[in-house]
A and B are shown apart, each in its own frame.
Chain A
Amino acid sequence: MNKGMKKILAPFASLRLTVVLFAVAMVLILVGTVAQKYEGNWEVVNRYFHSLWLMMPIGIAGIKIPFVGGYTLCILMLVNLIAAHAVRFKLNWKRAGILLTHAGLILLLAGELVTGLFAVEWQMTIMEGESADYAVDIRQVELAVVDPSPQKHDNVVIVPQSVLASHEEQAEGTGGKSGGRAGPIQSELLPFDIRVVNWMSNAEIFGPMGAPPQLWQNNPATRGMGKSAVAREVSRVTGVEGGRVDAPAVYLNLTHEGQDMGTWLVPLHGIGMGDPRQPVIINGKTYLLELRFTRDYKPYTVHLIDFRHDKFVGTEKPKNFSSEVRMVDPSRNANFVALISMNHPLRHGGETFYQHQFLRGDIGTVLQVVRNPGWLMPYIACSLVSLGLIVHFGVMLKKFVSRTRR
């Protein structure tokens, strides 16, 4: 490397920078861990770790200060490490261990970055004897407006959660609670305009007799489920509440060509046991309105042949869970049977299917479907770090022995 290049890289290779980055990382991890008591796990992960910067609460009078996020920190560490090697690079056997260890660390950082940016996780629930062709993301919801009139398929228009939340016009400031875009959601794809009257990230639903009187008197809904139930926003599920997830609900006012189609309550999965979809009829055509977990339709179908829940003999203690599935993927010309069990996921088409949960009574399975292009990187990184440490130990041992002999 020429001197000019080294001169440019030298500041990036500073050891002081390394120390400061480690200190900043410790603060970020500490605050991010504590934050899970007050916010949902994934909210924290996205805000603190999968972000460039954030406004970090300091715990005094609600004051927040700007702070670097996980991505920025990760990239800074990566650049720092690479620059250090570029500036001080010397290839000799004595440094082989250090080089290998650092190469492993670089790969680990890069792997986390790839995972954070490109990995997706979904859940696929399948009853025994049935098939599933889509998976859901239980951390995100979507408003689906479905036109079921075509014979062979449904036409689905999706309004993502972020669009709903950002268009909320609840009277707090000018842009709603989320400080988002004003005005209704309008799209050529939608059969009506949607005004988001009230978006609730997590809501509880009351019937007319159970609702606090004031809540019922101020019920904004005029159509659909909202006529017999009312929703109230509650605090979001935090990271210390086990497996619970938020159940959002939204009040929507619909208009078609200037005509008011009423205000609708649309809660996640509807209310109770009934069909979660609500029919909205426009010019004699029925559209179905539903708030549901975000779906990802797959090019394949997974059929659950059998779910097994083995227990240790004479006890109720689970020994093993496994799902025997048939994967039918015309896009890859695949049709095969596979057994998914704990520690033995199925890998197909760049996705990994883990045995995740089961439906009680052992009548169905919940698979976790993960697409992570960087899934191999931590394995390779850890192997490199281990190898590097062993080599370095060997080099130092040899040095020590030869010094002792002298």
Chain B
Amino acid sequence: MPRHAKRNSSTRPTHRWLLAAVVIAFGVGTLTGCEEEEVHSYQAPKATPYVPPEPMAPTGGPTDGHNHAGPPVTWDLPDSWQPATGVSSMAMEAFEAPGESEGAEPAKVTVTVLAGEAGGLMGNINRWRGQVGLEPIQVIEEQPVTVVHIDHARAAMIDLASPQGATAGLQRMLVVLVPRQQDDQTWFIKMTGPNDTVAQQKQNFIGFVESIRFEGTGGAGGTGGAGGVENTQEAGKTEGAVGTEESGETGENGETGGGIQ
């Protein structure tokens, strides 16, 4: 076979570039390999000591300020309140508020953090109303509220009492609902129990609620408070990282937290 004929039949010049591309791609593929990660160990500086969920400190929740789904928070606990145990719910913190008369059943106070809108205001109000034996409302304005202040922001307190003769499991309930859009969370601070005990502890409850401070986030949220993490790039001037496609738009601590009370 003539020399040029042989050449044309196997690697014609017009298709050589394609062969070249395949050669390079194959070379790259074989030269680079994925590095597999393995279990490894190291010594790290001592972290804050582990804090078991209970017993509670008299003031403040866990406030080390790191690795929490939400912001660190502090509060002043009324003297008579005690940490509660055996609360089978998603309550982050739970306390017992005793009644004044001897042998009175104590009221329970819970602080619960739920993801997102946690079922919405209307749905929650009607659920609570049902728990104390009240009829559901049709429009939100039907529900009377008391305004309380949490960390310089306004929040609504709802006081629901079981009507006379009702056979509901709960006699009375006080709930403060704090939506925190910046964390995509809703905080519920709730007192439930016998009518008398809740009435006696109502001022303590309001005092407790108003002592809450979302440390380091400067405000409760719902009605104009602040919190969470902000992008400093919003002012549109940050240089960013050269050559990396996303020089930092992310940053909040994910979507942890939640559950329903």
Chain A residues with CB under 8 Å of B217's CB are 359-361, 363
A356 (CB) vs chain B CBs: closest residue: B248
Whether A318 pairs with B234 at a CB distance below 8 angstroms is yes
Chain B residues with CB under 8 Å of A317's CB are 235
Instruction: List CB contacts (< 8 Å) of B1-47 with chain A.
Output: 13, 16-21, 24-25, 28-29, 32, 36-47
Q: How far is the CA of A347 from the CA of B243 in the complex (A)?
A: 16
Chain B residues with CB under 8 Å of A352's CB are 241
Which of these, A14, A354, A374, contacts B248 with CB under 8 Å?
A354
Whether A276 pairs with B68 at a CB distance below 8 angstroms is yes
Whether A17 pairs with B21 at a CB distance below 8 angstroms is yes
Q: How far is the CA of A75 from the CA of B22 in the complex (A)?
A: 12
Whether A247 pairs with B255 at a CB distance below 8 angstroms is yes
> Is residue B167 contacting chain A, with contact meaning CB distance below 8 A?
no
Whether B230 pairs with A121 at a CB distance below 8 angstroms is no
Whether A297 pairs with B45 at a CB distance below 8 angstroms is yes
Whether B39 pairs with A187 at a CB distance below 8 angstroms is yes
A40 (CB) vs chain B CBs: closest residue: B250
Of the candidate stretches B48-56, B99-107, B133-141, B155-163, the one touching chain A is B48-56
Which of these, B62, B245, B251, contacts A275 with CB under 8 Å?
B62
Chain A residues with CB under 8 Å of B18's CB are 17
Whether B69 pairs with A269 at a CB distance below 8 angstroms is yes
Of the candidate stretches A56-64, A199-207, A383-391, the one touching chain B is A199-207
Chain A residues with CB under 8 Å of B62's CB are 273-275
> Is residue B227 contacting chain A, with contact meaning CB distance below 8 A?
yes
> Is residue B191 contacting chain A, with contact meaning CB distance below 8 A?
no
Q: How far is the CA of A148 from the CA of B53 in the complex (A)?
A: 18
Whether B92 pairs with A273 at a CB distance below 8 angstroms is yes
Whether B52 pairs with A275 at a CB distance below 8 angstroms is yes
Encoded as 1 (CB less than 8 Å from any A CB) or 0, chain B from 210 to 254 comes to: 000001111100000011111111110111111111111111111
Q: How far is the CA of A205 from the CA of B258 in the complex (A)?
A: 6
Q: How far is the CA of A98 from the CA of B199 in the complex (A)?
A: 85
Q: How far is the CA of A291 from the CA of B234 in the complex (A)?
A: 30
> Is residue A31 contacting chain B, with contact meaning CB distance below 8 A?
no
Q: How far is the CA of A267 from the CA of B256 in the complex (A)?
A: 8
Interface of A is mostly: mixed
Whether A360 pairs with B230 at a CB distance below 8 angstroms is yes
Chain A residues with CB under 8 Å of B182's CB are 360
> Which range contains the number of A residues in contact with the other chain?
35 or more
A41 (CB) vs chain B CBs: closest residue: B246
Whether B68 pairs with A12 at a CB distance below 8 angstroms is no
Of the candidate stretches A238-246, A329-337, A393-401, the one touching chain B is A238-246
Chain B residues with CB under 8 Å of A271's CB are 69, 90, 256-259
Whether B20 pairs with A243 at a CB distance below 8 angstroms is no
B27 (CB) vs chain A CBs: closest residue: A75
B214 nearest CB across to chain A (Å): 8
Q: How far is the CA of A16 from the CA of B233 in the complex (A)?
A: 42
> Is residue A364 contacting chain B, with contact meaning CB distance below 8 A?
yes
Chain A residues with CB under 8 Å of B24's CB are 12, 72, 75-76, 79
> Is residue B113 contacting chain A, with contact meaning CB distance below 8 A?
yes
Chain B residues with CB under 8 Å of A321's CB are 232, 235
A74 (CB) vs chain B CBs: closest residue: B28
Whether A272 pairs with B235 at a CB distance below 8 angstroms is no
> Is residue B175 contacting chain A, with contact meaning CB distance below 8 A?
no
Encoded as 1 (CB less than 8 Å from any B CB) or 0, chain A from 101 to 136 comes to: 000000000011011000101010101000001100
Which of these, B45, B115, B235, contacts A154 with CB under 8 Å?
B45
Chain B residues with CB under 8 Å of A297's CB are 42, 44-45
Of the candidate stretches A89-97, A159-167, A171-179, A252-260, the one touching chain B is A159-167
Chain A residues with CB under 8 Å of B130's CB are none
Instruction: List CB contacts (< 8 Å) of B87-122 with chain A.
Output: 88-90, 92-93, 112-115
B63 (CB) vs chain A CBs: closest residue: A273
> Is residue A189 contacting chain B, with contact meaning CB distance below 8 A?
yes
> Is residue A305 contacting chain B, with contact meaning CB distance below 8 A?
no
Encoded as 1 (CB less than 8 Å from any B CB) or 0, chain A from 172 to 196 comes to: 0000000000000101011000000
> Is residue B61 contacting chain A, with contact meaning CB distance below 8 A?
yes
Whether B16 pairs with A76 at a CB distance below 8 angstroms is no
Name, among B18, B46, B229, the residue most crowded by chain A CB atoms within 10 Å (CB to CB): B229
Whether A243 pairs with B231 at a CB distance below 8 angstroms is yes
Whether A156 pairs with B43 at a CB distance below 8 angstroms is yes
Whether A119 pairs with B115 at a CB distance below 8 angstroms is no
Chain B residues with CB under 8 Å of A160's CB are 37-39
> Is residue B67 contacting chain A, with contact meaning CB distance below 8 A?
yes
Whether A272 pairs with B251 at a CB distance below 8 angstroms is no
A228 (CB) vs chain B CBs: closest residue: B90
B146 nearest CB across to chain A (Å): 25
Whether B216 pairs with A279 at a CB distance below 8 angstroms is no
Encoded as 1 (CB less than 8 Å from any A CB) or 0, chain B from 131 to 151 comes to: 000000000000000000000
> Is residue B125 contacting chain A, with contact meaning CB distance below 8 A?
no
> Is residue B58 contacting chain A, with contact meaning CB distance below 8 A?
no
> Is residue A3 contacting chain B, with contact meaning CB distance below 8 A?
no
Which of these, B25, B41, B50, B92, contacts A277 with CB under 8 Å?
B50
Q: A205-B258, A356-B232 are in contact. Are A343 and B61 (CB under 8 A)?
A: no
Name, among B90, B249, B256, the residue most crowded by chain A CB atoms within 10 Å (CB to CB): B256
A134 (CB) vs chain B CBs: closest residue: B44
Whether A268 pairs with B17 at a CB distance below 8 angstroms is no
9 A–B pairs (Cβ distance < 8 Å), ordered by A: A123-B251, A146-B47, A204-B115, A271-B257, A345-B239, A356-B233, A360-B182, A361-B226, A363-B218
Interface residues of chain B, those whose CB is within 8 Å of chain A, are 13, 16-21, 24-25, 28-29, 32, 36-47, 49-53, 61-62, 65-70, 72-73, 88-90, 92-93, 112-115, 182, 215-219, 226-235, 237-261
List the 8 closest pairs (A to B, CB-CB), nearest first: A361-B218, A210-B260, A207-B90, A207-B259, A14-B17, A11-B16, A247-B254, A115-B243
